[in-house]
Chain A
Amino acid sequence: MTAGAGSAQAEGPQPPPASVRPRRPESAPPPRLPDYVLRQPHGTYHALNPTTKLVIAFAEAAIAFGVRGWIGPIAVLVVLAITAFAAGVARRMVPFALATIPLVISILLVNTLLYPGAHDVIVRVGPLAPTWSGLTAALQATLRVIAFALSAAILGLTTPTDDLLSDLERRGLGRRGTFVIGSAIRMVPRMGERASEITDSQRARGMDTQGSVLRRVRGVIPLAGPMIYGALTEVEEQTMALEARAFSAPARRTVIRVLPDSATQRIVRWVLFLGAIAAVAAEISGRLHLP
């Protein structure tokens, strides 16, 4: 086709043309997907459509945060506990609840001690004056945070990321949107790995990770710098690798796993979605009309 194309082929054995490639014999049965790709999910909750589970998580988080007082977060936690046991993931949710501890502690301390405008002091300890209203607000906030973490956890534990992404894409989220969500999700475990490598590298150079506040503030740059640089180069590499795999092809992506869905689930999704919004709206408008 091009001039001089034959020159490089002058030496060595003549290869077969690129088009000659092993093909399936005509008589072979039609190919089918392996079982490990079809993966029939076990259990009712796992088998729900990924978007249904996403809407459930959304509704739980919305009610936990939107419906004030004790009712919202407690109702959501009860529902979460029941679904977690039913789905058989209760044990694996424990670490997610534990992960909220640092945030919970700071919420408890700050609110209990510094709740604005509260005078119902529990007990005075030197300069500290914890208040009942502060404690109540703190406990409610804590329950909300835990409910939120667990609603995300149950979604993650029962839904492979790929399934959620392809279901959202099928519903019209679009390839780019899917990519943005997907790359954010896949960044999380790598961020952890990268952070520990960076910390090791800087500690090996004598950086003190303990000590005074000033020291720690100064220690942020040696940790954050490589973190940001690494994230940027990784995104660049990943973008090129995706292009190399025809990510920007105009065709509609093929769905290989047909994910279960039903009319009932569709109704449940709308009811939950609208119901959660209605509950939050009622709460807010109710508040607004209060004298």
Chain B
Amino acid sequence: MSIPITLESVVFVYPDGTRALDGVDLRIGSGEQVAIVGQNGSGKSTLVRQLNGLLRPTEGRVLIDGTDAAALHVAQLAAKVGLAFQNPDRQIFAGRVRAEVAFGPRNLGRADADVERAVDEALEAVGLSRTGEANPYDLGYSRRKLLAIASILAMRTPVVILDEPTTGQDARGVARVRAIIERLSEEGRTVVTISHDMRFVAETARRIVVMRAGRIALDGTPAEVFAEPNWPALASTYLEPTLPARVGARLGLVGTPTEAALVEAIGASRPVG
């Protein structure tokens, strides 16, 4: 269960005239795991809203699994592309955690037994299995956020988009989010994550797309995007390479976006002491 996404010269202009997307060509292959980064207003959120039809391109086309998204309703696209928004408080309405998570799959018309199973799995994935009967509003912000993610996971969509999943999460929460992404990826699903946290994307994503002023500024593996020649491009959109990438460059090493990669490169370059 995995499908590719293609954006062909997508332009999107808001009614007030803001050109949020200014010609985006992007292909995300089936089962790819991509992070989209860039400062606020660079077009990240506008871009992912094109993928489930909440926004429709002013020019250009969006293809979901080869089908022009223009031909599909939001409700149809919701079965293919799950999008977990940044602010959980803009969606939580149910009096019970389980009911909140069941909302999506029920809307998709799944059978009761399937819904129950999907809810169990989703709550287990985000670590909320034991709070199924709790009132969502009694949970702290970080757990409400995980609950919102679970409510998308339960829809079992081939594409999962997470908008800023790590904000407000502590170290355990961030590790939890990383595990969720890795698991989805192992299941072969296409995962797109929007994040401001460079360390997180360097360690989690297989591919990073950097947005600047409605266009794609950089696109590559973490090692490529954080390589020294790209630093000026990152700086132009107020992003910084990760510490291991900077340290690696100082030591004359290449391809060290993460601690693990740097340690390995150092080990290969000098005698063990």
A contact residues vs B (CB 8 Å cutoff): 194, 197-198, 200-208, 221-226, 229-230, 233
Contact with A along B67-107 (1 / 0, CB 8 A): 00000001100110011010101111110000000011001
Q: Check A222–B103 contact: CB distance below 8 A.
A: yes
In the assembled complex, the CB of B20 is this many whole angstroms from the nearest CB of chain A, namely 15
Count of residues in B whose CB is under 8 Å from the partner chain: 25
B87 nearest in chain A by CB position: A197
Q: Which of B89, B93, B103, B108 contacts A233 (CB 8 A)?
A: B89
Q: Is the CB of A198 within 8 A of B91?
A: yes
A205 and B103: CB pair below 8 A?
yes
Q: Chain B CB within 10 Å — which of A197, A200, A204, A207 has the most? A: A204
A208 to B151, CA, bound (A): 16
Given known A205-B78, A205-B151, A206-B79, contact A225–B107 (CB-CB < 8 A): no
**Chain A residues whose CB sits within 8 angstroms of the CB of B107 once the complex forms:** 205-208
Give B113-165 interface residues, CB cut-off 8 Å to A: 137, 151-152, 155
7 A-B pairs with CB atoms under 8 Å apart are A194-B90, A200-B85, A204-B83, A204-B152, A205-B107, A207-B107, A229-B89
User: Is B52 close to A, CB under 8 A?
Assistant: yes
CB distance from A2 to the nearest CB of B (A): 32
Cβ contacts under 8 Å, A225 to chain B: 92-94
Instruction: Chain A residues near B260: list those with CB within 8 A.
Output: none
Q: Quick one: closest A residue to B84, CB to CB?
A: A204
In contact, B75 and A201 (Cβ under 8 angstroms): no
Complex Cα gap A83–B151 (Å): 53
Q: A229 contacts B92, CB within 8 Å?
A: yes
Q: Are B75 and A208 in contact (CB under 8 A)?
A: yes
Contact B90 A230 (CB under 8 A): yes
Given A206-B104, A206-B108; A226-B89 close (CB under 8 Å): yes
Distance A225 CA – B90 CA, assembled complex (angstroms): 9
B97 shortest CB reach to chain A, Å: 14
Whether a CB of chain A sits under 8 angstroms from the CB of B49 is: yes
Residue of A nearest to B161 (CB): A204
Contact flags (1/0) for B42-79 with A, using CB distance below 8 Å?
A: 00000001001010000000000000000000110011
How distant is A226 from chain B, measured CB to nearest CB, in Å?
6
> Smallest distance from the beta carbon of B82 to chain A beta carbons, Å?
7
Point out which of A198, A206, A226, A230 has the most chain B C-beta atoms below 10 A from its C-beta: A206
Beta-carbon contact of B52 and A204 below 8 Å: yes
Contact of A201 with B155 in the complex, beta carbons under 8 Å? no
A230 touches B54 (CB 8 A): no
Question: A204 vs B73: C-alpha distance in the bound complex, in angstroms?
Answer: 11
**The 5 residue pairs across chains A and B that have the minimum distance between CB atoms:** A225-B93, A206-B107, A201-B91, A206-B78, A205-B104
Chain B residues, Cβ within 8 Å of A205: 78, 82, 91, 103-104, 107, 151-152, 155
Q: How far does the alpha carbon of A204 sit from the alpha carbon of B152 in the complex, in Å? A: 9
CB proximity of A66 to chain B, nearest CB, Å:
38
Contact residues in A for B151 (Cβ distance below 8 Å): 205
**Complex CA distance for A225 and B155, rounded to whole angstroms:** 21
- Whole-angstrom distance from the CB of B129 to the nearest CB of chain A? 21
Tell me, in angstroms, the Cα distance from A198 to B86 when the chains sit together.
Answer: 11
B residues near A200, Cβ cutoff 8 Å: 49, 54, 85, 90
Chain B residue numbers with a CB within 8 Å of A204 are 52, 54, 74, 78, 82-83, 85, 152
| A211 CB, nearest partner CB in chain B, Å | 9
Q: How far is the CA of A203 from the CA of B152 in the complex (A)?
A: 12
In the complex, chain B residues whose CB is within 8 Å of the CB of A201: 85, 90-91
Shortest distance in angstroms between A256's beta carbon and chain B's nearest beta carbon? 32
Given contacts A207-B107, A222-B103, A229-B137, contact A202 B91 (CB under 8 A): yes
The CA-CA distance from A201 to B152 in the complex, in Å, is 10
Is there an interface contact between B137 and A206, defined as CB atoms closer than 8 Å? no
7 extra interface residue pairs, beta carbon distance < 8 Å, beyond A205-B155, A226-B90, A226-B91: A200-B90, A201-B90, A204-B52, A205-B152, A206-B78, A226-B93, A233-B89
CA distance A204 to B83 in the complex (A): 6
